[in-house]
């Protein structure tokens, strides 16, 4: 992975907003990003040619519940293993620092479920079903 540097923190607000959109995730407001990013439990991003090109975060209460969110890789950098390195870093931090009874969840879009399964994530259906609500989209 020549030219890529992994940084153990979330990207700044501008890059966070950009990475979400260019990778196909839903856009977020600047106000939402400014309020949410400082509450990241653990985040990482990759730098290439001086700018962020991929990211992932863990959010949660620090004890009982965690969620992996914002897994995003710019299209021109996909297929190079960045997502795997990000997931490895996020899961390693959870395994080392989260309490043993913590519940870790994520939402798998499309084929991402295959990547997440490699890290021990399993579908929760039919016992549970994921649900969501967007506030004033």
Question: Per-residue pLDDT averaged across 18-25, rounded?
Answer: 97
On whether the CB atoms of residues 43 and 55 are closer than 8 A, the answer is: yes
Domain 4-117, CATH 3.40.630.30 — does that match?
yes
What is the CB neighbour count within 10 angstroms for residue 36? Answer: 18
pLDDT band at 121 (very low <50, low <70, confident <90, very high): very high
| % of the chain beyond a pLDDT of 70 | 99
On whether the CB atoms of residues 20 and 37 are closer than 8 A, the answer is: no
- pLDDT at 1 > cutoff 90: no
Closest C-alpha to 57, from 79, 100, 77, 28: 28
Domain ranges within the chain, ordered by starting residue: 4-117
Mean pLDDT, the chain, as a whole number?
96
Question: Per-residue pLDDT averaged across 103-111, rounded?
Answer: 93
Enter the pTM of the model: 0.94
């Amino acid at each position: 992975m020549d030219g890529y540097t992994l940084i153990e923190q979330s990207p700044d607000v501008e890059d966070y907003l950009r990475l979400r959109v260019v990778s196909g995730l839903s856009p977020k407001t600047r106000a939402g990003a400014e309020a949410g990013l400082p509450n990241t439990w653990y985040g990482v991003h990759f730098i290439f040619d001086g700018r962020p090109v991929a990211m992932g975060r863990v959010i949660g209460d620090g004890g009982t519940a965690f969620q992996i969110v914002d897994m995003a890789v710019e299209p021109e950098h996909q297929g190079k293993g960045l997502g795997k390195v990000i997931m490895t870093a996020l899961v390693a931090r959870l395994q080392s620092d989260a309490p043993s009874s913590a519940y870790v969840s994520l939402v798998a879009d499309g084929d991402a479920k295959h990547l997440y399964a490699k890290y021990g994530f399993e579908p929760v259906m039919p016992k549970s079903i994921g649900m969501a609500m967007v506030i004033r989209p």
